[in-house]
Amino acid sequence: MSGFMGHEPDGKPGQPKTVKEWVFTLDHKVIGVWYLIGSIASFVVAGLAATAMRIELGSVGPDITDNGDIYNLWLTMHGAVMILGFQIPALLGFVANWAVPIMVGGKDMAFPRVNAMSVWLLWSGILLALLNLVIPDSYNGMWTGYPPYSLTDAVGNTALYSSVVIILGMSSVFGAVNLACTVAFMRCKGMGWFQMPLTVWCVFTANVIQLIFVPVLAASVLLLSMDKYLGFGFYNPEVGGDVLLYQNLFWFYSHPAVYVILLPFMGILFEIFAVSARNDVFNYKATVWATIAFIPVSSDVWVHHAYVAGLPDWLRLLQTFTTLLISLPFGLLMLSLTGTMYRGAIRYTGPMWWAVGAFFMLIIGALTGIPNALSAIDYGISDSYVIMSHFHYVMAVSGGMAIFAGVFFWFPKLTGRMCNSFMTKLTAAGFFIGMNIVMGPLYFAGMEGMPRRYMDYQMYADNATIVSAQHWSTIGIYITFVSALLMIVVWLHGAIAGEKATSANPWGSQSLEFTATAIIPGQGNFPTPVSVPEGWHPYNFIDNPKPEFEPHPGHTGGHH
Amino acid sequence: MNHTSSYSVTPSWSGLRKLALTMAVSAVALLGFANGAHAAYGNVSKDSVVDPSILKIEEIKFLGEKADYDFVLQDETGADFKLGSMLGKPLVLAFSYYTCDGACSVINKNLSETLKGVERWKIGQDYNVLTVSFDKNDTPATLANFMKEAGFADGLPSGWKMTTMQEKANIDKLTGSMGFKYFWSPRDAMFLHPNVYIMLSPKGRVTRYLYGGTITPLDMELAITKAKGEKIAAANVIDFVVGACYSYNYKDGKYTVNIPLFVAAGALIFGLSLIVGSFSYMKFRRVKHEI
Amino acid sequence: MKFKSLMHKVMAAMLALPLIPSLAHAFQAAPARRADYNGWTPHEHWDAVWHETMLDITVLGVVFAIITIAFMVMYVRKGHGERGKLPSLTNQAKIGWVVIPCMLFLGDDLFLYVKGFDLHNHYREVPTNAVEVKLTGSMWNWNYVDVNGIDSDNELVVKQGTPVVLRMVSDDVLHSHYMTRYRVTEDLMPGRITWQWFMPDQLGESVATCREYCGTQHSGMYGKIIVKSAADYDAYVAEQTASVPSVTGVAKAATAADQI
């Protein structure tokens, strides 16, 4: 492959030295780091927006702003940037680019140049999205961008929204083609499909979902802009458009997009659980098939986002059932996670603290999704804080914690240094407690009727549950805010002045990115082409003769 | 149409003028009064003070309105029957009056032609048709005469009834409940009214207004399909899919193809072909390398 | 061998698990025809299904969490170099661990589905004696027009005990009409008619809010549903209709025609 900036894959430790090398790199690991930096920057921006909104909602009446447009701008930025800028790039950018190729024993991604294009498309998308904070007619139509509101002048710059979604969509599609090909064709000698780590399986499946569904979103959003600026009227009922169609198309992508986030972060949990418990993943093959089952199952559930949108009754009832079916593959994944603990030898490292937090929050997040699947229950809680709390438990609390667990897990491989273990655990506890105080009470506020996307709740001023839930939630955000800030400080401190990693495999993993590379994997990833022996399995801790914590050069190709 | 001569009305002129006025009002009132509507009307009769917009149906206000089951109607033999007996299937409702020598017979003739073009649904079996006179002076006799003129001398197809109503109050209640407006123009000695077919759901709610002269059998078929909506089950998925491919265009009063749906379907195929394409590319490249 | 064939029978029996809730449901009277849904209003029915669902997921969650916590405590690493000892599963066990949990989940899903189906029908079948109110949403206002022609903004007065069906349309963008007390939401859209119904069973006021994002004052788009007793309601109607004579569109057109 010609993608190594003229160097032969020599496995030399270290990273690019000059700015030029950093920017024009074709190395998947450096690109992965660019994804990580972009997604953490997005997390900071969207997190600040969340904090501002939470403070505004702390009490009835204006707290820090009385301007609905400003609040709606924060809300739009929070939702769009968290999902499109933080979660998807962290999982399908950082994890997919940095970890997956090494985990399958590949030298790089299948198409390094396409990979570089993807990451810079992501960055231009993020920068364009941030532009929304400074332009005068900023877009405030939420990340969903439903017409007809997004076709009015009041919404602001719809073109910016469309461009961001389309650019990030292109980035995702290129990235997905690349990753799917990497997993399918760049695996090292000896590694069969059912010998891949579950992280790889989850990211692979998520990317297949992206490939199938992202073009639909990009097309529907493109038509939105054509509607607004060129007057086509695709979504305008006055001239024969269908006002509901956009919602259907949007969620046709965006519900699968939830699994695009869920699967990779569960993949991280599998990796950390197995490594920390030094145990095989429970029922590995069934877990893989459950992961794959998400592709067909997720494609037929979108109507549960539009139960109250006047769609035919039979369609609501049909998709209530298909939505409930998600519990089957998802339940198997949860069962595997718990089963991985059974008779394990669990070591509670820093990443494991984050992962355990993510796991328990996923129990809450998943189970609170069950009532929402019932169309009839949805009539009472649609677009309320019940929904908001549910998906924050899944995506923000669990997803966020799993992503950070992954960052802590691979941190030594990125920087060659360790994060302070105590501070890692402290921030994990702080984030866990803080987010529960933010999101827990809001579930009860939602049961009382509190709607989403409100900057104020004057009409519920005499409802003690809602008022005190909002109050407590705002207290929680301070704890979360401090923990997240501290976490970033821990990373920065770790990267600059952390204790140097003495082992290439600090957690005792069996996976190739730890066992067969230098402390910081060099270009070409492996000192010599890697292969795995017959019967090798990434979670086989029992039969592996290698001692814990000892760096070793890995399998160096003696078996073919 | 020479409107300058409208002051010296001769009997023949009068007839012509009536027809012209009828056609104009039909064309205008019924197209939703897009641009040019006033101009068209103005050409016919500058001196008239009639503003056709008072005939306009406020569709949004009346869509979903429920027809009263209890109205008593008389058919051409004078027998009473209830409006409710026509429901249970989608119902195409046309308002006319039977002493009309202009557009009314045309409305019914056109409707008959349009319905003949609807192949998916069978009249009487899948839907019913009802013509109601809003003129209280109409009697079974004028109706029978009208049927001859409108080309139904051999009787109506089963599932189609033409009726009269005799109570002015009831006529107003029925037409009013659907936003249908008409009035007597003493000057022209005729009723001015929109040339509209009202589609009712099996439960008697207004689901669509279709304007005569602009619609095609496809529009009628889609309107019937969508009116059946409540009854569509998973077994009739094809009807649902066909219905979803079209949406109603308020400006033109027709159904138009739902373009985004096809664009999205194209995008979906594009995504799938990306997977297939990139995999086959890799496979091909790999084979070449190995050779 | 004997044990193995017993296991087969147990596994086969588990396949029938999801049928249990469905059959149990089928043995009840057909829900749609069950007399007046046990006298429930839809929102009382909703509360019942909601509590059942909550109980269901709480039990599931607590059991699952307790098992996991037990594992996490019991299997902490005792010493350096210790490894996990997860027993390797036989093929039969592998399949069993897929089929049995899936059937349990499916059983629970079906149980909740039939509850939800029943409730859905309750919400979507309007009683024949319901009075119709036209609701038009616009940025950022609810406009109610009832059968008596009483036209009011952000305030709807209804009679206790008479079901009300709202026939809704939007003037501009999407809105969604949610009544806190009656637990029902439905979107309002331009060019499409949607509806919802509720049973005002208790006197007093409750809140109606917008639940579909509609711009700057989305959170300012709320109104009141006021339930009055029959006598008070009649007095209210008399007072309102006396001051505002209702003129229908037909009457207007006729008046215009007469002037010509």
DSSP per residue over C17-52, as a string?
TTHHHHHHHHHSPPGGGSGGGGG--HHHHHHHHHHH
Residue A250 has pLDDT above 50, yes or no: yes
**Partner-chain residue, chosen from A185, A223, A314, that has the shortest CB–CB distance to B233:** A314
Q: Which pLDDT belongs to residue A555?
A: 36
For residue C161, give every residue at least 6 positions away whose Cβ sits within 8 Å of its Cβ, in sequence order, or none: C199, C200, C201, C230
> How many C-beta neighbours within 10 Å does residue A156 have?
22
Residue A196 structure tokens: 């891949």
Least confident of A8-22, A84-98, A502-516: A8-22
| pLDDT(C103) > 90 | no
Instruction: Tell me the mean pLDDT in the region A314-320.
Output: 86
For residues A464 and A460, give the distance between their C-alpha atoms in angstroms, rounded to a whole number: 8
DSSP label at residue B68: P
Asked if B184's CB is within 8 angstroms of C167's CB, the reply is no
Is the separation of the CB atoms in C249 and B181 below 8 Å? yes
Unique residue bearing structure tokens 């249990």: C20
Sorted by where each starts, the structural domains of chain B and their CATH numbers stand as 3-256 (3.40.30.10)
CB contact under 8 A, B172 and C250: yes
Kindly report, residue by residue over A217-248, the tens digit of the pLDDT: 898 899 888 888 888 878 887 777 788 888 88
Confidence band, pLDDT 50/70/90 cuts, at residue C259: very low
SS3 C197: strand
Record: contact B247-A212, CB cut-off 8 A = no
Q: Do B260 and A314 touch (CB under 8 A)?
A: no
3-state class of A384 per DSSP? strand
Share of chain A above pLDDT 90, in %: 55
pLDDT digit string (tens) for C6-59? 667 776 776 776 666 666 665 554 455 555 677 788 999 899 889 989 999 999
- Look up residue B1 and give its amino acid: M
Res A274: pLDDT: 93
CB pairs under 8 A between A and B: 99
A331 pLDDT more than 90: yes
* B chain contacts of residue C260, beta-carbon cutoff 8 Å: 49-50, 183, 185-187
Of B66, B68, B63, B97, the C-alpha closest to B83 is B68
Closest CB to C106 among A309, A328, A332 = A328
The answer to whether position A523 is within a domain reads no
Say how far apart CA C150 and CA C132 lie, in whole Å: 12
B250: chain C residues, CB-CB within 8 Å:
191
Provide the H-helix boundaries in chain B: 11-29, 37-44, 59-62, 103-117, 140-149, 168-177, 217-228, 237-244, 259-290
For residue A6, tell me if it sits in a domain.
no
Answer yes or no: is A3 within a domain. no
Best of B25, B59, B60, B171 to substitute, by most chain C Cβ atoms within 10 angstroms, is B60
CATH number, domain containing residue A414: 1.20.210.10
What is the C-alpha separation between A94 and A414, in angstroms, rounded?
11
- Please name the residue of chain C whose CA is at the shortest distance from the CA of residue B188: C260
Q: Which of C57, C106, C186 sits opposite A368 (nearest CB)?
A: C57
Question: Phi/psi class of residue B36: alpha, beta or left (left: φ > 0; alpha: ψ in -120 to 50)?
Answer: left
In chain C the domains, ranked by start, together with CATH numbers, are 2-76+90-124 (no CATH), 131-244 (2.60.40.420)
Contacts of A367 in chain C (CB under 8 A): 57-58, 60-61
- pLDDT tens profile A109-133: 888 899 999 999 999 999 999 999 8
pLDDT computed for residue B229 by the predictor: 67
Considering only CB atoms, which chain B residues are within 8 Å of C190? 60
Q: Inter-chain contact C64–A363, Cβ cutoff 8 Å?
A: yes
The nearest alpha carbon in chain C to A319 belongs to C113
CB-CB contact of B146 with B163 (8 Å): no
Helical packing angle, A245-277 and A198-230, nearest 10°: 160
Task: Give CA–CA dist C48/C46, Å, rounded.
Answer: 5
Give the nearest partner residue to C253 out of B183, B186, B187, using CB atoms.
B183
Which letter, b or e, does each residue of B17-37 get, where b requires 16 or more Cβ atoms within 10 Å of its Cβ? Answer: bbbbbbbbbbbbbbbbbeeeb
Higher pLDDT, C214 or B74: C214
Q: Which of A311, A386, A141, A372 is nearest to C180 (CA)?
A: A386
**Which residues does A20 contact at the CB level (< 8 Å), separation at least 6?**
none
Distance CA C119, CA A377 (A): 8
- Inter-chain residue contact A453 with C213, CB threshold 8 Å: yes
Number of neighbours of residue A24 by Cβ within 10 angstroms: 12
pTM of the model: 0.83
User: Is there a contact between B176 and C195 if contact means CB atoms under 8 Å apart?
Assistant: no
Q: Would residue A402 count as lying in a domain?
A: yes
On whether residue A533 sits in a domain, the answer given is no
**What per-residue confidence (pLDDT) applies to B230?**
54
**Nearest-by-CA chain A residue for B232:** A314
DSSP string, C52-100: HHHHHHHHHHHHHHHHHHHHHHHTB--STT----PPPPPHHHHHHHHHH
Q: Give residue C25's pLDDT.
A: 60
**CA–CA gap between residue A132 and residue C74 (Å, rounded):** 52
Higher pLDDT, A145 or C253: A145
Residue C192 carries which DSSP code? Answer: B
* A508 burial via Cβ count (<10 Å: 0-12, 13-18, 19+): buried
- Strand ranges inside A450-527, DSSP E: 499-500
Mean pLDDT of A50-58: 93
From the candidates B269, B278, B289, which should be mutated to test the interface with A, based on the most A CB atoms within 10 A?
Answer: B278
Say whether B234 and A249 touch across the interface (CB within 8 A).
no
Window A:386-425, CB contacts with C under 8 Å: none
pLDDT number for residue A398: 94
Give the pLDDT confidence score for residue A295 in this predicted structure. 92
Q: Phi first, then psi: give them for residue C146, nearest 5 degrees.
A: -95, 180
Does the residue A531 lie in any domain? no
Chain B adjacent subunits, 3+ CB pairs under 8 A: A, C
Task: Report the C-alpha gap between C252 and B182 in whole angstroms.
Answer: 11
Q: Coil, strand or helix: which one is C206?
A: strand
Q: Do B63 and C250 touch (CB under 8 A)?
A: no
Q: Contact, A304 vs A325, CB < 8 A?
A: no
Both tokens assigned to B244: 């979803």
To the nearest whole angstrom, how far is the Cα of B105 from the nearest Cα of chain C? 23
Domain extent at residue A292: 19-515
pLDDT tens digits, A467-499: 999 999 999 999 999 999 999 999 999 999 988
What is the domain count for chain A? 1
Beta pairing class for B160-163 and B128-133: parallel
**Which residue stretches of chain B have pLDDT < 70?**
1-55, 69, 101-103, 213, 229-240, 286-291
Element (H, E) at C169: strand C164-170
pLDDT at residue A370, rounded to an integer = 93
| CA–CA dist B206, B219 (Å, integer) | 16
CB A93 within 8 Å of CB A99: no
CB contacts under 8 A, C 200-219 vs A, are 207, 209-219
- Rounded to 5°, angle at Cα C180 from C175 and C181: 140
Q: Is A544 domain-assigned?
A: no
Residues 28-87 of A with CB under 8 A from C: 68-69, 72
A174: closest CA of chain C, how far (Å):
33
Q: Decide if pLDDT at C200 tops 70.
A: yes
Residues in chain A closer than 8 A to B229 (CB atoms):
312
Would residue A71 count as lying in a domain?
yes
**Integer Cα distance of A118 and A116 in angstroms:** 5
Closest C-alpha to B82, from B170, B185, B187, B175: B170
Q: Check pLDDT > 70 for residue A371.
A: yes
Q: What is the pLDDT of residue B41?
A: 36
Percentage of residues in chain A with pLDDT exceeding 70?
94
